[in-house]
Amino acid sequence: MSGDLEFYYIFRDAMTDAGISFALTSGMACVEYGIQQNTKDTDWLIAPDSVELLREMLCRFERGLSGRNWRIGYRGLFGAPLDRDYLANGWTSHLAIWDTPDSVEHHLDFFVQPPRLSAGAALEGAAEAIAHRLVVAQMKKTNRDRDWPIAEALAYQELLSGNGEAVLHLRDPEALKDAWGLCSEDQRRILLARRPLLAQIANPSPKILRLLAAERGLWEEVNKLRYGRYQHEWKAFLKRWRAEDEFAWPVSVPFARQHELVVRAADVHRLARDPLGGLDGRVAIFEEAMNHITSIFALDPMEQKLVAPPISEMLP
Amino acid sequence: MKPMVPDREYPDFYYEKLAELLGEDRARWARLPYEERMKELAWYHANFNTPDDLSLWPAELDGGVDRP
């Protein structure tokens, strides 16, 4: 029997052998980086072109023709089908795998375009099948209090290794100054466009802590509104699907058949591929979040500009 | 089990910062060699239901808010 920790090594090696481009991210990536997380789930970034390969690999393993004989299924709340069109629009797919008859149920989540990152950026800098520390940090800008110190710890690791880009995720004025000092002029221009508040780093105003708090508040609010769109879409889809006379889910059939069922359901019951609604939808989320933060922190127009990263950074 | 990435060496400052951000116990854990870190984590997995396992909804569908 493999425990959750052994299993993610097994799964990593299997994906490597199958020629899949991927990287481990989120909680287990933090564990690998020496930041303790107790989650048993594993989260995987998959290159858009590798989604089909992954699905084929899973079907092969379930058929037991390759030496492995896994049981694989979508979880009850499966997110979206393991399909490039959905995953490239920010959905995730949630699977359960049993790799031996007495195995525990391993939970795996798959992303192509994770929150706050484009598909291309997500795999940038990944080495040894693990997402770059700053990619994980960007994913951790959620509205969970417990994620922010983790993002910052990852940024400290980069700072102490001489990577000035840590400045995107640090929140302590002194550490920000240190990281800023590591950046070239060219780098600074790029980083400033991604995080306008860096303009305050060399000579921080007495308001800097308030502005840092407002900036975090904006990320949190955008995340809350973002997931709200996915949640609303999924619940409405499930309601429509459940209204079918023959509705049955979850079902105990091979993974390939489960996949056909969820693809058909997503198609027939109109699970939107992009619940954020393109650029207009993203602008609407950003503006709603900005209005909320402006009223809480009483930001003036100049401060609003300082605390707001571009939409492309928050909702790519 | 071998680390997926080689362990980096950090100065004491890092572990002090980690204690500030995440608590003394996690800073202690971070100082352990990789194998011991994983052994301790496996013990937690074997003996506790960890927060994500208690979540009915996947994180992106319930906002990933902390659950009791």
A89-101 residue pLDDT tens: 999 999 999 998 8
**B57 lies in a domain?**
no
pLDDT digits (tens, 9 = 90+) for A229-273: 999 999 999 999 999 998 999 999 999 999 999 999 999 999 999
Kindly calculate the radius of gyration of chain B based on its CA atoms and give it in whole angstroms: 15
Indicate the fold that domain A4-121 takes in CATH.
Beta Polymerase; domain 2 (3.30.460)
- Comparing CB atoms, the residue among A77, A130, A152 nearest residue B4 is A130
Q: Which of A38, A75, A145 to mutate to test the interface with B (most CBs of B within 10 A)?
A: A38
* Look-up of token digits 């984590």: B41
Give the angle B44-B48-B53 at the CA atoms, nearest 5°.
Answer: 110
Neighbours of A232 (CB within 10 A): 13
Residue A72: name the closest of A249, A263, A250, A256 by CA.
Answer: A256
What is the domain partition of chain A in residue ranges? 4-121, 134-204, 210-314
**B58 lies in a domain?**
no
Q: Categorise residue A58: left if φ over 0, alpha if ψ from -120 to 50, beta otherwise.
A: alpha
Calculate how close chain A gets to B14, using CA atoms only, in Å.
Answer: 7
pLDDT digits (tens, 9 = 90+) for B26-48: 999 999 999 999 998 888 877 76
pLDDT digits (tens, 9 = 90+) for A104-128: 889 999 999 999 999 889 999 888 8
Q: What ipTM goes with this model?
A: 0.89
The range of the structural domain enclosing residue B32 comes to: 12-49
Calculate how close chain B gets to A95, using CA atoms only, in Å.
Answer: 11
Instruction: Please indicate whether, in this complex, the C-beta atoms of B56 and A77 are within 8 angstroms of each other.
Output: yes
Strands A106-111 and A42-46, bridge-based pairing: parallel
> Rounded to whole angstroms, how far apart are CA atoms B10 and B31?
9
> Rounded to whole angstroms, how far apart are CA atoms A45 and B27?
28
- Comparing CB atoms, the residue among B22, B57, B65 nearest residue A144 is B65
Calculate how close chain B gets to A169, using CA atoms only, in Å.
Answer: 14
Domain total for chain B? 1
**B55 lies in a domain?**
no
